[in-house]
Amino acid sequence: MINRNGREAFRTLMNTRPVNFRRILALFILATVLCGLGLSFAGSESNGGGDHFFAGKTGERHLRRGDLAPTGTLTPIAAPTPTPFSHPLLFSPVAAEANVSIGIDEACVQILDGPCTNMWTYGGTYPGITIRRPTGQTTNVTFTNNLDPAAGELTVHNHGNHSSAANDGQPDDLLIPTGGSRTYIYDGLERGGNQQGKMQFYHDHRMDVTGRNVWMGLTGMYIVDDPADPPTLPSGTFDLPLAVADRQFDANNQIPYVFDPNGVTGDKILVNGVYEPYLEVGDRKYRLRILDASNARTYFLTLSTGDSFIQIGTESGLLPAPVVRTGMRMGPAERLDVVVDFAGKLGQNVYLTDLLTGMPLLEFRVTQHLVDDSSIPPTLRPLPDIGEPTVTRNWSFDKTAGHWTINGLRFDPNRVDARPVIGTTEKWVFTNPTGQAHTVHIHDVSQQCISRNGGACYPYETMKETWYLDPGETLELKLKFTDHTGMYMLHCHIVEHEDDGMMTQFEVVRPTSPRPRPTPLPRPTPRP
């Protein structure tokens, strides 16, 4: 019998194009997992990932990241076939200070064997510098646009952050010109208290070219640490941010961007900018904060052992209680905060695998025995009470006259499609009459799920800010507008859908009060 999780997986497989041998294989593997039989890629004996799994030859890889190099100096030689799991997983440098300066720089990043890849980066690495800050404290991040003038003006959105409108990364306003800088101020507050602990990420949001800018590398992670979260969860070196993103490389290991309104994908899936990395771990619990940093690709993550993930959080912080999941779908911009336990796996290799492509993405080598002092409490964090909605708005994620639209309209920075009042709660209803899935992201405040297709929401989607919307689905959410007035975006996070027009804006406004009557002027005293 297939559970709800399984139905979600099958829908995703059938809705993701094109259908090919790998997908049929993935369907088979999924059925195996769901039947509870499990499957194993342990060691290097069985091949669950297709022919590329064993291809290639061993080779050394330079670990230098972000060595600056001008474009166009590469020797045109064919890149060697990458050797699977021959390079260690990397983690971007972490900035933890209140004042952070990040240069938006072109850099040649060593990703595959052979020539490095010219990318646009936040601080010279891909993904960019990870910002990690305690909640409730103000953080000033100054970005300087050092890219070639052809890249144009830029804007940075701190995705998941409750920013004031001026600091939210407006797509066509408050931009960072070539050679110029802009400081974004994040106060770490929400609903009059500290912002909830979670993993956000920052990325470019420039109108019409977000897809190009993100593809070229403008993505970084941003972790908000919250002392109110349970201290027993795996932390420190056992707390791993993982950005999963695909790229298409040419023969010179470059990633030219060719816009496709249906979404740009590549055949190489990177984790933290490394293709098929390995990580040596101990036989204990680890917290994985997984981000789908792809432009358009959806994943369905499993463990090669058939073991479960224990999901503890979403984009919007910890769930009310942990949810055990054998497989997890993740669309562009979604995050999965999970705990994986390698106890009893000493000496084995465990793979984080994408069932939709059949590809193993990351090899965990369980090489050390470690005492595990971490634990997952049975309850994590209660849902905040955001009241009952007083206004309902409907948003149809559609295709109109050959373009991706919302309620039949493409993005227009001069049009505002909703003016919710600050302090009020609204119900927003999303529908998807198209044949493709969308991952819908609302800026400003997190949202709570009311219903999916008229029934219960998935147990792991109580509060989020990026929502997977399958073809034909209806999703009801509620959200309360707090703290800030001003302009915010609502859009599909398949960034080519967004660039093609599937974005709109809403303006949070103050309540309108009746105009005060002008005080009548004193009548002039008639002259005697």
Binding site for Cu ion (CB under 5 A): 438, 492, 494, 497
Token reading at 424: 């009020």
Using alpha carbons, list the distances in angstroms from residue 59 to 84, 85, 150: 10, 11, 36
The one-letter amino acid at 222: Y
Which CB, 168 or 496, lies closer to Cu ion? 496
Nearest alpha-carbon partner for 232 in 373, 341, 135: 373
Which CB, 426 or 498, lies closer to Cu ion? 498
Minimum Å distance from CB 497 to Cu ion? 3
Which CB, 128 or 501, lies closer to Cu ion? 501
Which CB, 298 or 482, lies closer to Cu ion? 298
Tell which phi-psi region holds residue 114, choosing left (phi > 0), alpha (psi between -120 and 50) or beta: left
Nearest alpha-carbon partner for 295 in 329, 328, 257: 257
Under a CB-based contact definition with an 8 Å cutoff, are residues 268 and 244 in contact? no
Nearest alpha-carbon partner for 357 in 263, 269, 257, 261: 269
Which CB, 301 or 406, lies closer to Cu ion? 406
Which CB, 29 or 475, lies closer to Cu ion? 475
Minimum Å distance from CB 332 to Cu ion? 9
Which CB, 287 or 491, lies closer to Cu ion? 491
CB neighbour class for 290 (10 Å; exposed up to 12, middle 13-18, buried from 19):
buried
Which CB, 176 or 494, lies closer to Cu ion? 494
Minimum Å distance from CB 130 to Cu ion? 27
Q: Torsions phi, psi of 367, nearest 5?
A: -110, -5
Which CB, 205 or 438, lies closer to Cu ion? 438
C-alpha to C-alpha distance for 403 and 482, rounded to whole angstroms: 33
C-alpha to C-alpha distance for 443 and 19, rounded to whole angstroms: 33
Query: Within 13 Å, how many C-alpha atoms sit on residue 39's CB side?
Result: 26
Under a CB-based contact definition with an 8 Å cutoff, are residues 363 and 342 in contact? no
Minimum Å distance from CB 415 to Cu ion? 19
Minimum Å distance from CB 492 to Cu ion? 3
List residues bridging with 350 in a β-sheet: 364
SS3 content of the chain, % helix, strand, coil (to 5): 10, 40, 50
Minimum Å distance from CB 438 to Cu ion? 3
C-alpha to C-alpha distance for 84 and 336, rounded to whole angstroms: 25
Which CB, 288 or 494, lies closer to Cu ion? 494
455's CB contacts (< 8 A; 6+ apart) are none
Minimum Å distance from CB 434 to Cu ion? 8
418: DSSP letter: B
Minimum Å distance from CB 171 to Cu ion? 16
Under a CB-based contact definition with an 8 Å cutoff, are residues 165 and 145 in contact? no
Minimum Å distance from CB 509 to Cu ion? 27
Minimum Å distance from CB 214 to Cu ion? 14
